[in-house]
């Protein structure tokens, strides 16, 4: 199975001035595409060739893991951004308030985690296996789905995500990121967490091509296209 680069769920210039068309072009068409091309080359003729992307992530290490995880992480990241302002559902807002004290305190904690995530990596809001909501920093290609945690939100803090627009000033990129979070996407995943727990993650472990998280994320993307 060859993995393919999905189109961005919005126009390449629609996040300006937060992220310029040039940044999105290099990030999506060069970096993200590069991971997918390398993954396809690495898995050709191997046991990984017929596996779903998520199953490869749970079964591999080294270069195959890195390129598969980066493919998934970027697929997810694009859906975490929105050109228009969005708000979290009442249920997600309630949960965030319960865990972090307030949305403002969550913002402070999430952005501080992203700012201090050393080197290249990702900052996440996840539900762990006990359905605890938590902020998580991962390094390089590491991804929560390798550890059966459900990502609701992620911020790419690799320099390639912001360097053309912000140079070394990650904090300015993070301020813009906060204003462009797609809370509707996070809310949909949160609302369907039981589905993901019982079907999505189960499918990852069992490599069921008919019911995987990528199908679910595709559904989310299609629903957003219909509603926009
Ligand atoms: Fe990236």
Residue 199: what pLDDT?
A: 45
Residue 202: what pLDDT?
A: 46
Q: Which residues surround ligand 1, an ion (CB under 5 A)?
A: 156, 158, 161
In a domain, 194, yes or no: yes
In a domain, 107, yes or no: yes
Q: Is 74 annotated as a binding residue?
A: yes
Tell how far the Cα of 73 is from the centroid of ligand 1, in angstroms.
8
Q: Which domain holds residue 89?
A: 20-228
CA–CA dist 62, 71 (Å, integer): 14
In a domain, 13, yes or no: no
CA–CA dist 64, 38 (Å, integer): 8
* Total number of domains in the chain: 1
Tell how far the Cα of 161 is from the centroid of ligand 1, in angstroms.
5
In a domain, 5, yes or no: no
Residue 48 contacts residue 60 (beta carbons within 8 Å): yes
CA–CA dist 28, 30 (Å, integer): 6
Residue 71 contacts residue 52 (beta carbons within 8 Å): no
In a domain, 8, yes or no: no
Tell how far the Cα of 167 is from the centroid of ligand 1, in angstroms.
15
Q: Quick one: angle between helices 33-43 and 62-79, nearest 10?
A: 140
Cα–Cα nearest to 146, from 176, 126, 162, 167: 126
Tell how far the Cα of 36 is from the centroid of ligand 1, in angstroms.
12
Q: pLDDT (tens digit, 9 = 90+) per residue, 139-164? A: 999 999 898 888 999 999 999 999 99
Q: Is 32 annotated as a binding residue?
A: no
**Which neighbouring-strand residues pair with 122?**
138, 156
- pTM (global) more than 0.85: yes
Residue 64 contacts residue 43 (beta carbons within 8 Å): yes
Tokens of residue 53, six digits: 């992307």
pLDDT in single tens digits along all 228 residues of the chain: 899 999 999 999 999 999 999 999 999 999 999 999 999 999 999 999 999 898 899 899 999 999 999 999 999 999 999 999 999 999 999 999 999 999 999 999 999 999 999 999 999 999 987 788 999 999 999 999 898 888 999 999 999 999 999 999 999 999 999 999 999 999 988 887 765 655 455 455 555 555 555 565 566 556 556 555
Residue 227: what pLDDT?
A: 54
**Which neighbouring-strand residues pair with 135?**
125
Residue 223: what pLDDT?
A: 58
In a domain, 9, yes or no: no
Residue 173: what pLDDT?
A: 98
Residue 128: what pLDDT?
A: 83
The CATH number covering residue 76 comes to 3.55.40.20
Q: Is 156 annotated as a binding residue?
A: yes
Q: pLDDT (tens digit, 9 = 90+) per residue, 98-144? A: 999 999 999 999 999 999 999 999 999 999 877 889 999 999 999 99
Q: What angle do CA 203, 79, 108 make, to 5 degrees?
A: 105
Tell how far the Cα of 24 is from the centroid of ligand 1, in angstroms.
10
Q: Is 27 annotated as a binding residue?
A: yes
In a domain, 3, yes or no: no
Task: Taking the CA atoms of 33, 57, 213 and 93 in sequence, report the sign of the dihedral they define.
Answer: negative
In a domain, 72, yes or no: yes
């Amino acid at each position: 199975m060859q993995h393919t680069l999905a189109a961005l769920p919005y126009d390449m210039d629609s996040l300006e001035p937060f992220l310029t068309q040039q940044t999105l072009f290099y990030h999506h068409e060069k970096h993200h595409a590069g991971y997918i091309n390398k993954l396809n080359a690495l898995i050709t003729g191997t046991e990984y060739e017929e596996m779903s992307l998520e199953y490869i992530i749970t079964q591999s290490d080294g270069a195959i893991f890195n390129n598969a995880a980066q493919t998934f992480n970027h697929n997810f990241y694009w859906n975490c951004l929105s050109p228009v302002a969005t708000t979290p559902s009442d249920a997600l807002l309630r949960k965030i308030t319960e865990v972090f004290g307030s949305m403002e305190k969550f913002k402070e904690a999430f952005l501080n985690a992203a700012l201090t995530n050393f080197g290249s990596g990702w900052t996440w809001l996840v539900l762990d296996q006990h359905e605890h909501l938590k902020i998580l920093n991962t390094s390089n290609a590491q991804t929560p789905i390798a550890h059966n945690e459900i990502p609701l939100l992620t911020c790419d803090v690799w320099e390639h995500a912001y360097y053309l627009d912000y140079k070394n000033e990650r904090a300015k990129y993070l301020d813009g990121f906060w204003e462009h979070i797609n809370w509707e996407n996070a809310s949909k995943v949160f609302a369907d967490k039981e589905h993901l727990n019982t079907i999505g993650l189960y499918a990852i472990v069992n490599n069921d091509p008919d019911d995987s998280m990528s199908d679910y994320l595709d559904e989310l993307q299609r629903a957003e296209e219909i509603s926009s």
